[in-house]
């Protein structure tokens, strides 16, 4: 039974049930074997009313399975205790994962109410397992004899993680403190859920309605057509609506000439969850921080960051701060230089104002044209969504021998979702991937990969994975198909890297955790192929003419690789520091002011006013409703790994078979089975160095 991680939707590890009864009569479809191709979830049969009773039933079944381990009269062994615990609760894992994946990608008020009911139940059940003294006594007995058990590396990791899960869940605490910790966990499960629900509601309620055509000045036709489509959907034909979804707000900030409107939508974006109303998240943040600190101290840590980082590659807060500070020191001068360059453009136009945060993307786009003769609208026609997807499939085949076959007649949770069977190099079934590409009000913002079923093995049988990519990419607009920005292209490659990690997994146990500062390595290294000329020539084809992207345009894209990196790195680092500053607190005073704390943290850092932290506190889902608390730095840590790892390909070739096999065998297939640094060194032959990262970002 894996420890339930309900606030980490992008890293949900589940398994197909081997325990569900088969039946011919009409019952809850979540509680019978899935009679579907590849045993995929029967989305066409599942109703919202099925979820809560299915989760309740699955909890009861899991309790029986746990009781059988506790009451086993045979001496505890790895097989009858640790492995039995690993394989318990499979039905619960499956049902809850289906529910929480849908709650992220296709939610509604009813689902959110169900989530508020079942989250505390699942948290309580997890506590019941990991605070059980009798069960822990059996695990402890096996752990004490681990050196004499002749276990494989993966079995040792499972044993060590199982033992630590009990300790980190508070099994050694006195009874009264256990009850206190249970209450904290229950409250946190609801608070983090509420935080994310508020952000989704904030995203959906703001609309910038434009009824004067002159206010569209500067915007590309694709953005105008997209806004017209949104207006039509809102029964406001003849007007244009821009929202806080990235495919809408980012082009507006890049191209709209109307400075007042740029300011309005940018301010709406950065103040989500900060309006002192029913959707305000400041009090939620304060409570979350208080409870996380209280929990950390109960478990013997000074703060939440210490509790989290002992399980990450970084190991402690100081190592995180050391990395962040080293890159910050190199980045801030670059960002200040960029400010001066953008201000020079403003001055040359005789505009007579100082650069502000809502001006940055607009003047950066002008600067891109000046420096590189490159306009993002020039390249978008070459980034048709379907072509980019085909390019990613091509890269995956070249590297790992995978083939993707679309499945038309399988259940889907939304009509926009596409489904593919993944075949290995000899044409055998490797797994399934769902793709959900466009924004809608029922989907949270951002992009992520998740699993409906993680790969694992039982009784010598391999259970193939079912993974899903969920994104919020630009929709088709007017007569044009879905055309992506280059940022969306790299995001697609990024999430597909996560998907490859899931599809190519070759592990026995699917509960083994992958720390956030390692889990981003497979995704971030995949981004490198997106900009390689050989790869661009394969997928970047004009959506009207079919013309391959011209070499001069490819050269411009490559040369502009360092463009705006001061801004991009600074806004990311600011958010990373903010995360660490929150989670190294050892107390939260009753009069704690979230906005003031954020302001002081960023001022102390020296963040320049022209740049806003990538995430401000009240919509910072990664750390307050996701799995990245004290872990947002992990993207940078993983980039240090991926920049160094991609050099291994560049030293040979970007499709070198031996290098690809080594990366697959040691990283993609075995993530979580051993210490991450050991796996990396086994692939690379040495520990990673930071210099390739600094060079890539133009900071060295």
Tell me how far apart the alpha carbons of residues 139 and 206 are, in angstroms, rounded to a whole number.
52
Cβ neighbours for 599, distance < 8 A, ≥ 6 positions apart: none
Instruction: Specify whether the CB–CB gap between 15 and 21 falls below 8 A.
Output: no
Residue carrying structure tokens 């045979």: 74
Q: Are 384 and 400 in contact (CB under 8 A)?
A: no
Does 610 participate in catalysis according to the annotation?
no
Contact 660, 530 (CB under 8 A): no
Cβ 21 vs Cβ 30: under 8 Å? no
Q: Are 140 and 74 in contact (CB under 8 A)?
A: no
Tokens of 148: 């004499």
Phi, psi dihedrals of residue 406, rounded to the nearest 5°: -70, 140
**What residues contact 224, with CB distance under 8 A and at least 6 apart?**
216, 240
Select which of 83, 338, 495, 639 is catalytic.
Answer: 495
Structure tokens, 602: 């960023």
424: tokens are: 């290995």
CA angle (542, 377, 239) in 5-degree steps: 110
Residue 251: which of 474, 495, 576, 498 has the closest Cα?
A: 474
Instruction: Kindly state the helix (H) or strand (E) to which residue 461 belongs, with its residue range.
Output: strand 461-463
Contact at 8 Å (CB) between 691 and 324? no
Compute the distance between CA of residue 473 and CA of residue 440 in angstroms, rounded to an integer: 10
Contact in structure between 195 and 284 (CB atoms under 8 Å)? yes
Report the distance separating Cα 285 and Cα 339, nearest Å: 32
The Cα–Cα gap between 129 and 41 comes to 27
- How many helices (H) and strands (E) the chain has is answered by 28, 9
- Longest CA span, the chain: 85
Report the catalytic residues. 495
């Amino acid at each position: 039974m894996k420890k339930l991680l309900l606030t980490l939707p992008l890293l949900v590890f589940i398994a197909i049930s081997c325990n569900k009864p088969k039946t011919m009569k009409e019952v809850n479809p979540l509680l019978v074997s899935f009679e579907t191709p590849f045993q995929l979830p029967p989305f066409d049969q599942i109703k919202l009313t099925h979820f809560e009773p299915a989760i309740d039933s699955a909890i009861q079944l899991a309790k029986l399975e746990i009781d059988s381990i506790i009451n086993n009269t045979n001496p505890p062994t790895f097989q009858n205790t640790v492995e039995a615990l690993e394989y318990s609760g499979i039905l619960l894992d499956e049902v809850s994962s289906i529910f929480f994946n849908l709650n992220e990608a296709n939610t509604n008020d009813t689902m959110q109410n169900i989530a508020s009911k079942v989250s505390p139940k699942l948290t309580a059940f997890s506590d019941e397992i990991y605070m059980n003294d009798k069960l822990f006594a059996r695990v402890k007995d096996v752990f004490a004899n681990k050196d004499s058990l002749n276990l494989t590396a993966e079995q040792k990791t499972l044993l060590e993680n199982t033992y630590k899960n009990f300790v980190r869940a508070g099994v050694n605490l006195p009874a009264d403190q256990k009850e206190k910790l249970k209450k904290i966990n229950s409250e946190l499960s609801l608070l983090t859920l509420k935080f994310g629900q508020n952000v989704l509601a904030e995203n959906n309620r703001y609309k910038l309605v434009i009824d004067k055509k002159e206010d569209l000045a500067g915007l590309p036709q694709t953005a105008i057509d997209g806004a017209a489509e949104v207006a039509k959907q809102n029964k406001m034909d003849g007007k244009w609506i821009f929202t806080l979804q990235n495919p809408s707000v980012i082009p507006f900030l890049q191209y709209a000439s109307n400075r007042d409107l740029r300011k309005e939508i940018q301010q709406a974006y950065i103040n989500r969850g900060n309006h002192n109303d029913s959707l305000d998240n400041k009090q939620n943040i304060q409570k979350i921080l208080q409870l996380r600190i209280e929990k950390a101290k109960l478990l013997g840590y000074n703060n939440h960051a210490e509790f989290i980082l002992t399980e990450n590659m970084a190991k402690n807060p100081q190592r995180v701060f050391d990395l962040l500070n080293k890159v910050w020191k190199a980045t801030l001068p670059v960002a200040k230089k960029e400010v001066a360059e953008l201000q020079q453009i403003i001055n040359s136009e005789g505009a007579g104002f100082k650069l502000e945060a809502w001006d940055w993307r607009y003047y950066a786009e002008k600067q891109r044209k000046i420096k590189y003769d490159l306009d993002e609208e020039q390249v978008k026609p070459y980034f048709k969504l379907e072509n980019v997807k085909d390019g990613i499939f091509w890269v995956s085949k070249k590297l790992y021998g995978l083939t993707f076959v679309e499945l038309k007649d399988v259940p889907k949770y939304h009509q926009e979702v596409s489904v593919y069977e993944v075949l290995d190099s000899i044409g055998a079934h490797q797994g399934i991937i769902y793709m959900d590409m466009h924004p809608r009000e029922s989907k949270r913002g951002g992009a992520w990969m998740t699993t409906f079923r993680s790969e694992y093995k039982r009784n010598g049988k391999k259970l193939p994975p079912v993974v899903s990519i969920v994104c919020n990419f630009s929709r088709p607009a007017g007569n044009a198909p879905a055309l992506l920005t280059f940022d969306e292209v790299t995001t697609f490659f990024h999430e597909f890297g996560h998907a490859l990690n899931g599809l190519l997994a070759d592990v026995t146990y699917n509960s083994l955790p992958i720390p956030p500062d390692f889990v981003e390595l497979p995704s971030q290294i995949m981004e490198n192929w997106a900009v390689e000329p050989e790869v661009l020539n394969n997928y970047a084809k004009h959506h009207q003419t079919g013309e391959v992207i011209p070499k001069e345009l490819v050269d411009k894209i490559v040369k502009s690789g360092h463009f705006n990196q001061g801004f991009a790195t600074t806004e990311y680092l600011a958010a990373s520091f903010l995360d660490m500053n929150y989670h190294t607190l050892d107390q939260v005073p009753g009069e704690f002011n979230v906005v003031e704390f954020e302001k002081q943290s960023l001022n102390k850092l020296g963040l320049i006013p022209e740049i806003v932290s990538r995430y401000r506190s009240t919509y910072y889902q990664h750390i307050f409703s996701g799995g990245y608390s004290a872990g947002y730095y992990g993207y940078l840590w993983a980039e240090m790994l991926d920049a160094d790892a991609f050099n291994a390909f560049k030293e040979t070739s970007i499709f070198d078979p031996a290098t690809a096999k080594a990366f697959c065998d040691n990283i993609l297939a075995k993530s979580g089975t051993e210490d991450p640094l050991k796996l990396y060194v086994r692939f690379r032959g040495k520990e990673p160095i930071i210099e390739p990262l600094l060079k890539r970002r133009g900071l060295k």
